[in-house]
């Protein structure tokens, strides 16, 4: 039976061989991977600068059609050269750009129907892959010494207060888009920056004195005050109050504290016996002595209040309690010879009879005072632009430990990166108040929106010099093409989006130049704590330090 069946089988085979040939196989895209990773989509993010794109097809690729059928372009539509290779019998096409791409840019790899198989079948449909690069780790600027880099950062940041100071008042604009709006607190930081600029020979002493005379003259004769205290915002030309919010149209005692802190440093710095410097000192004393610190106790309560307005009285109702950025307010209030406060206001108001203690461990570091994980880093900066924490202690803590540990917790949090924020590392760290995409927030380990502010790490140089230098090198050399602009580093950035601010804020730029100087020379610390009334006031509050 097997032998009899053989002719039938052969006849059947002969009939098939004599028919039409089978149509060529369809040519379809099958899958893709970039740098060995396939995410099943047509978008790949945070790529390196020479990504390898591996494209799989249902049939071998006709190599002669690749140039016409595959295009690599940037967002602007400019075509980029690429190299190709093949695998799996030419059914896998491997594409890589010939030259390194740029960091944080969008690119497209497009496949058209001009791409064909070896059977001359066109690709069934067009496809486009979105390829978005991430961090470009190459240096953007030539390497210089750490000391030269610190000077460069100070000098560039100084320009915000010198070149961009308000032309009428000389005060610091709130931000680079503020027009006539100047900030009292940021101007206090700016005054300290001007002193640093003279010290570093960015400007002459005569030029710095002239600018201070303009500032002090404006504050004394034109700027509005309320019981001696200045508003948060002023019109830099007229001196009129500019409301910070609906009911915040009067005195801001904390912003006034930052201003007085800077003025006292200037008084100490311009110490020569000539008529001009003597007049400046007298004018500064007149401004400082007018602040009615004790009036802000609101009906003689044992706490200071942040705001008062002639239109809204105490409606803001914000008592100044610690731990936050306001220690300087109580130090100045206790130091006033004209409107001083007793220690009980500090004890019950600021320390809340010791309730501002913390004592817990965060990321392996003990935090003596303040909120969980320390809060935003400006808590360790604003009051300590003038107050030297080194060797400073009281019944609650050693303040060098407080600020160092706060900074280390912030650093350790970013290095650990529990939320897996793209780019966070031991080189890219620092959470504090700053601009964010579409707004503003006080970033911290308990409020992490993925935004790093350069001022956080750079203003921490006195506390974490090694960690801050790592951050500075990363911000300048690696991200410098995005961050380094006319007034130093931009306010903030996020690498996960990516987003880079185009803003500069006085309250963020000022601490950078001042705290780097305190790290290098203790200049502002020595000036402020050298004030006789500050020594007296800090002793009154129970502080001890070698300089008191």
What is the enclosing helix (H) or strand (E) of 449?
Answer: none
Q: How many independent structural domains does the chain possess?
A: 3
Question: What pLDDT score was predicted for residue 76?
Answer: 87
pLDDT surpassing 50 at residue 342: yes
The model's pLDDT over 7-35, given as tens digits with 9 standing for 90+, comes to 333 334 444 455 677 778 899 999 999 99
Instruction: Assess whether 305 and 190 both reside in one domain.
Output: yes
Q: Which residue has the higher pLDDT, 21 or 289?
A: 289
Assigned domain for 365 exists: no
- % of the chain beyond a pLDDT of 70: 96
pLDDT surpassing 60 at residue 5: no
Assigned domain for 77 exists: yes
Q: Is 16 exposed, middle or buried (0-12, 13-18, 19+ CB in 10 A)?
A: exposed
Helix residue ranges per DSSP H, 70-225: 146-162, 184-199, 205-221
Q: Is 46 exposed, middle or buried (0-12, 13-18, 19+ CB in 10 A)?
A: middle
- % of the chain beyond a pLDDT of 90: 95
Question: What pLDDT score was predicted for residue 7?
Answer: 34
The model's pLDDT over 177-190, given as tens digits with 9 standing for 90+, comes to 999 999 999 999 99
The model's pLDDT over 478-536, given as tens digits with 9 standing for 90+, comes to 999 999 999 999 999 999 989 999 999 999 999 999 999 999 999 999 999 999 999 99
**Whole-angstrom Cα distance, residue 529 to residue 548?**
8
- Dihedral sign of CA atoms 218, 222, 228, 234 in order: negative
- What is the average per-residue pLDDT within 292-315? 97
- CATH number, domain containing residue 80: 2.60.40.1220
Is the separation of the CB atoms in 136 and 464 below 8 Å?
no
- What is the average per-residue pLDDT within 316-324? 97
Assigned domain for 381 exists: no
- What is the average per-residue pLDDT within 35-51? 95
Question: What pLDDT score was predicted for residue 23?
Answer: 79
What angle is formed at CA 373 by the lines to CA 367 and CA 376, rounded to 5 degrees?
Answer: 110
**Whole-angstrom Cα distance, residue 323 to residue 358?**
10
- What is the average per-residue pLDDT within 32-56? 96
> Residue 74's domain spans which residues?
29-133
Assigned domain for 121 exists: yes
Instruction: Assess whether 62 and 164 both reside in one domain.
Output: no
Assigned domain for 370 exists: no
Instruction: Assess whether 129 and 189 both reside in one domain.
Output: no
Question: What pLDDT score was predicted for residue 18?
Answer: 52
Instruction: Assess whether 296 and 422 both reside in one domain.
Output: no
The model's pLDDT over 89-141, given as tens digits with 9 standing for 90+, comes to 999 999 999 999 999 999 999 999 999 999 999 999 999 999 999 999 999 99
Q: What is the average pLDDT value for the chain, to the nearest integer?
A: 95
pLDDT surpassing 80 at residue 153: yes
């Amino acid at each position: 039976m097997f032998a009899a069946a053989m002719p039938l089988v052969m006849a059947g085979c002969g009939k098939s061989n004599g028919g039409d040939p089978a149509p060529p196989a369809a040519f379809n895209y099958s899958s893709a991977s970039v740098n060995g990773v396939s995410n099943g989509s047509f978008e790949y993010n945070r790529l390196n600068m020479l990504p390898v794109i591996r494209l799989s097809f249902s049939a071998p690729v006709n190599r002669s059609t690749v140039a016409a059928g595959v295009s690599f372009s940037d967002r602007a539509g400019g075509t980029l050269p690429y190299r190709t290779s093949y695998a799996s019998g030419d059914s896998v096409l491997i594409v890589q750009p010939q030259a390194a791409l740029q960091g944080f840019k969008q690119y497209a790899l497009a496949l058209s129907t001009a791409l064909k198989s070896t059977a001359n079948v066109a690709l069934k449909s067009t496809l486009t892959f979105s390829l978005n690069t991430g961090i470009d780790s190459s240096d953007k600027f030539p390497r210089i010494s750490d000391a030269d880099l610190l000077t460069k950062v100070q000098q560039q940041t100084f320009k915000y207060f010198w070149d961009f100071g308000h032309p009428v008042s000389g005060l610091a604009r709130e931000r680079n888009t503020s027009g006539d709006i100047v900030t009292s607190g940021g101007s206090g930081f700016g005054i300290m920056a001007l002193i640093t600029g003279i010290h570093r020979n960015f400007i002459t002493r005569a030029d710095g004195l002239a600018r201070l005379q303009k500032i002090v003259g404006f504050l004394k004769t034109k700027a509005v005050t309320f019981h001696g205290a200045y508003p948060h915002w002023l019109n830099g030309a007229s001196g009129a109050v500019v409301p910070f919010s609906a009911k915040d149209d009067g005195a801001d005692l904390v912003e006034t504290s930052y201003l007085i802190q800077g003025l006292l440093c200037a008084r100490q710095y311009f110490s020569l016996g000539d008529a001009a410097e003597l007049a400046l000192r007298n004018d500064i004393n007149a401004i400082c002595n007018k602040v009615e610190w004790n009036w802000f106790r609101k009906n003689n309560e044992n706490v200071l209040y942040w705001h008062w307005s002639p239109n809204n009285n105490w409606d803001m109702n914000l008592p100044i309690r610690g731990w936050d950025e306001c220690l300087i307010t109580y130090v100045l209030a206790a130091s006033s010879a004209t409107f001083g406060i007793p220690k009980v206001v500090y004890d019950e108001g600021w320390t809340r009879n010791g309730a501002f203690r913390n004592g817990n461990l965060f990321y392996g570091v003990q935090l003596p005072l303040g909120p969980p994980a320390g809060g935003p880093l400006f808590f360790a900066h604003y009051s300590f632009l003038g107050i030297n924490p080194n060797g400073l202690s009281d019944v609650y803590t050693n303040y060098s430990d407080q600020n160092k540990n706060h900074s280390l917790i912030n650093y350790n949090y970013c290095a650990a990166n529990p939320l897996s924020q793209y780019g966070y590392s031991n080189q890219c760290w620092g959470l504090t108040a700053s601009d964010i995409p579409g707004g503003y927030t006080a970033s911290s380990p308990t409020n992490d929106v993925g935004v790093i502010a350069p001022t956080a790490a750079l203003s921490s140089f006195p506390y974490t010099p090694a960690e801050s230098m790592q951050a500075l090198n990363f911000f300048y050399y690696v991200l410098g093409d995005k961050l380094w602009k006319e007034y130093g580093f931009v306010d903030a950035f996020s690498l996960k989006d990516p987003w880079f601010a185009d803003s500069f804020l006085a309250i963020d730029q000022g601490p950078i130049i001042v705290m780097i100087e305190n790290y290098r020379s203790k200049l502002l610390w020595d000036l402020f704590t050298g004030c006789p009334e500050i020594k007296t006031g800090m002793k009154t509050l129970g502080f001890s330090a070698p300089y008191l």
